[in-house]
Chain A
């Protein structure tokens, strides 16, 4: 009697374990739904994000929602995501991230996504932009990655390349990260011993920065004998990178960029950057923690890739006749 009961219990246990395994298997097999809200289409960070899941064989359905560089389209994309309720939302860029996730103290559950786990990437200064209070925890349902190399690292790297006494900067007052960076660079002037020369991008009647003012601003900087132009990674400057870097080159003014596109796709002389592709992969690894390991986003610290890239645009170096020191060449990624 007793032994038959034991046998039955054993069989029941085996069936239970098999059922559990089956349901876990199903859960594993069911692809995770991810909605990515982008600003300029699927560029390198987006590609790196997608590639990570392929490499690590994690089944995902990624829906790409592009604002097409128009911030006004973002609220409609938020509504779309809210209706679909994916497993994870990923935002690209500071403007999109603020519009989708809201700033600390200004989060509105009707306007922003609050009840779906979210990750931000390519947001220049998440703390300065008030997306998160600090990098250890967002204290809400979001996490993310960093991609901007701190300005002192950038300036140290620039100093290895060339000495500079006057550092130029174009301030775009419509973007928060541009203002945060300006304050940081201004603070560093004593440490590095440079004179900080800033020009403001004028705004048009709609309060938007004027693209046509850029050549004049760079001419102003050249007249003030600026040795190096620090180009922030704000969207306006990046969109107009060709105008900026080409004009600077025509005034024999080297450009130090904090975003790779300005060096790789345009005419900035050098940049110290986290490659967008790498940032995308890192964001995907954060996503894996949320989706697979079921970690609460607020418990995931906001991190940067462990190594950055020193980019040199050799074509510009030759044009400006400012060749990189041999020691810099040993560590740099040279764009021919």
Chain B
């Protein structure tokens, strides 16, 4: 059996190997220990807590009885008590362990309130009987039903939260660990290898970077001293001039931590941003608040799209460092500005600036990675570094942001995000940079992208993939996840941390789904089927909210969306490139990618606009349901792809 090296395939990068092995090991270890701890704790707590819960519920029943008796003592007839349904509903809402409440008298009919989810076999009933109260004409008894599984539910939910946060911490810690691993081990090791190779070949003099401050710094310094003494013996100049090339040749992985921090700074806002905007607007304006909340999301998507398509030249013009510093400056200004904003206009302006900053920074990182890919050691790493850094930031951003917003408050979290963006620039600044690309115009005719877009859109399969496969997903991303999820969860009175966990749910699915999906050997037919199924599944879960109004229904919608997007994202991109290459070979793949990216942002703008408009006239959960229906109907348009695709690989 041939090894990958023998086949001439690139070896798996060491950081990827380290990350995947460490992740797997730590995940298994932490999950097993968490579940074991959960199981033991649930059993122990069940014994200890259930009597306490029953005692507390009894106090509630006594309080209800006293309240009603006070009303009767004031002379209000039992059958004329006003607002009993609302009173009992509020009592149930304040006491989640109680599933039913009944007030009964011998002479009149009962006042009863039960939860829709009531299960008779899961109830522990308690009764507070009428006392000898001579001043009450109608003595009453109060019965309550406590859900026996309540304690288990609460404990499981707590440990579920702990597990998710554990995962988030693990992801963040792994990024930090990888950064130091790169800086202190892998980069010095590569530098040392280059030095040895350089001496062997007797090539040009190189410079030793000041970054070598880890445990191997002495090895590098002594090697450098040795090389210099050898050169001296050979009568060559031996100065470590800045104009000389570095011994270390930069690789795509070097940008990972800076990119992670920058994207994390943006993702910290995700879970609370609509709520923050809503609080800022308050009741000071006459326009519908929900509609206004969608404004900054739309502006962000729009400017991110425009910047992605138009700012690429800036990086060539100003260089990577300046472009990244510029984008960080924009982000910091916008985040600090957002923290001190007083009105919706300021928020829209700062979010637009933020979108431009975000797009330029990610483009700069992409450019860094692509420029380092010419080196033989970088082969095979490619854009996986980019995707991995983004994935980690997505997974960590929303939950960490939610917790920070809970603890420090939303404006302080925005300032933390600005600090992270600044830190990313400092790390970027310290990196070794590849040589700036020399501008060479190989193509005889300058590309007319607009013409290319029109040409590609004339291809019905590409159009279907973009309009019916990609667009509904991005509509749901902006509408369901960014807009409605925080608002709905706030309505359900869940904590900020829970909102972050819903985002984590989505991004985790994308990461896991992406990893599993990449293992399949795809052909066009299979990819088409994945796009069709995925785009329909993406919106199907949201439809359930037409009938259900609960956090579980929303979780279902988010899971369904995540699952759908796992199926759609990679195959749709591949299919567009494949079809473009086959049917429109005159246009390079970058035009197809730009077209797809542009419409992703258009989908975001449309999604936020639909969400804002629907929430004016509909309740949030119904609006999510309608958004789901719209997404599903649009995605049905992908069905013809099934019949048009071949089994070609």
Contact = CB atoms under 8 A, between A and B. Distances in A.
B234 interface: no
A174 B82 CA distance: 40
Interface string A324-336: 1111111000101
Nearest to A328: B83
Given A329-B67, A329-B70, A329-B71, A323 B87 contact: no
B277 to A, nearest CB: 23
Given A327-B90, A329-B67, A318 B82 contact: no
A326 B74 contact: no
Nearest to B87: A326
Interface in B279-308: none
A327 B83 contact: yes
A217 interface: no
B86 interface: yes
Nearest to A330: B67
Interface in A292-336: 314, 318, 321, 323-330, 334, 336
A326 B71 contact: yes
B640 interface: no
A329 B74 contact: yes
B82 A325 contact: yes
Nearest to A326: B87
Nearest to B76: A323
A285 to B, nearest CB: 31
B177 interface: no
B512 interface: no
A324 B86 CA distance: 13
A153 to B, nearest CB: 15
Contacts of A325: 82-83, 86-87
Contact of A323 (B67, B81, B90): B81
Interface in B28-83: 67-68, 70-71, 74-76, 80-83
Interface string B85-100: 0110010000000000
Chain B interface, DSSP helix/strand/loop, else mixed = helix
Nearest to A315: B75
A334 B87 contact: no
Contacts of A314: 74-75
B75 A326 contact: no
Sorting the interface of chain B by its residue count into under 10, 10 to 19, 20 to 34 or 35 or more gives 10 to 19
B341 to A, nearest CB: 25
A326 B68 contact: yes
A318 B80 CA distance: 11
B407 interface: no
Contacts of B80: 321, 323
A326 B80 CA distance: 11
Contacts of B70: 329
Contacts of B345: none
Contacts of A326: 67-68, 71, 81-84, 87
A335 to B, nearest CB: 10
Interface in A52-102: none
Contacts of B68: 326
B83 A318 contact: no
B87 A327 contact: yes
Nearest to A322: B82
> Interface centre among A314, A318, A326, A328, by most B CB within 10 Å?
A326
A314 B70 CA distance: 12
Interface string B505-532: 0000000000000000000000000000
Nearest to A324: B82
Contacts of A330: 67
A321 B71 CA distance: 14
Given A324-B82, A326-B83, A327-B83, A318 B75 contact: yes
A287 to B, nearest CB: 36
Contacts of B67: 326, 329-330
Interface string B481-501: 000000000000000000000
Nearest to A314: B74
A334 B81 contact: no
A76 to B, nearest CB: 48
Interface in B168-223: none
Nearest to A312: B74
Contacts of B75: 314, 318
A220 B336 CA distance: 60
A83 B90 CA distance: 61
> Interface centre among A321, A329, A330, by most B CB within 10 Å?
A329
A316 to B, nearest CB: 12
Contacts of A328: 83
A188 to B, nearest CB: 14
Contacts of B83: 325-328
A318 B71 CA distance: 12
Contacts of A324: 76, 82
A196 B131 CA distance: 48
> Interface centre among A321, A324, A336, by most B CB within 10 Å?
A324
B111 to A, nearest CB: 10
Nearest to A161: B82
B286 to A, nearest CB: 11
Nearest to B90: A327
A183 to B, nearest CB: 20
B74 A336 contact: yes
B82 A334 contact: no
A298 B423 CA distance: 50
A46 to B, nearest CB: 31
A118 to B, nearest CB: 36
A330 B81 CA distance: 13
Nearest to B111: A326
> Interface centre among B67, B68, B74, B75, by most A CB within 10 Å?
B74
A318 B70 CA distance: 15
Nearest to B88: A326
A314 B77 CA distance: 13
A126 B257 CA distance: 62
Contacts of B71: 323, 326, 329
B93 to A, nearest CB: 12
A181 to B, nearest CB: 22
A328 B81 CA distance: 12
A329 B83 CA distance: 10
Contacts of B82: 323-326
Nearest to B74: A314
A326 B78 CA distance: 11
A61 B84 CA distance: 53
A334 B70 CA distance: 11
A64 to B, nearest CB: 37
Interface in B87-124: 87, 90
Contacts of B90: 327
Contacts of A336: 74
Nearest to B63: A330
Nearest to B86: A327
Contacts of A334: 74
B67 to A, nearest CB: 6
Nearest to A160: B83
> Interface centre among A318, A321, A325, by most B CB within 10 Å?
A325
A278 to B, nearest CB: 24
Contacts of A323: 71, 76, 80-82
Given A327-B87, A329-B74, A334-B74, 19 more contacts: A314-B74, A314-B75, A318-B75, A323-B80, A323-B82, A324-B76, A325-B82, A325-B83, A326-B67, A326-B71, A326-B82, A326-B83, A326-B87, A327-B86, A327-B90, A328-B83, A329-B67, A330-B67, A336-B74
The 10 closest A-B pairs by CB, nearest first: A325-B83, A325-B82, A326-B87, A323-B76, A323-B82, A326-B83, A314-B74, A327-B87, A329-B71, A327-B83
Interface of A: 314, 318, 321, 323-330, 334, 336
5 contacts: A323-B80, A324-B76, A326-B82, A327-B90, A328-B83
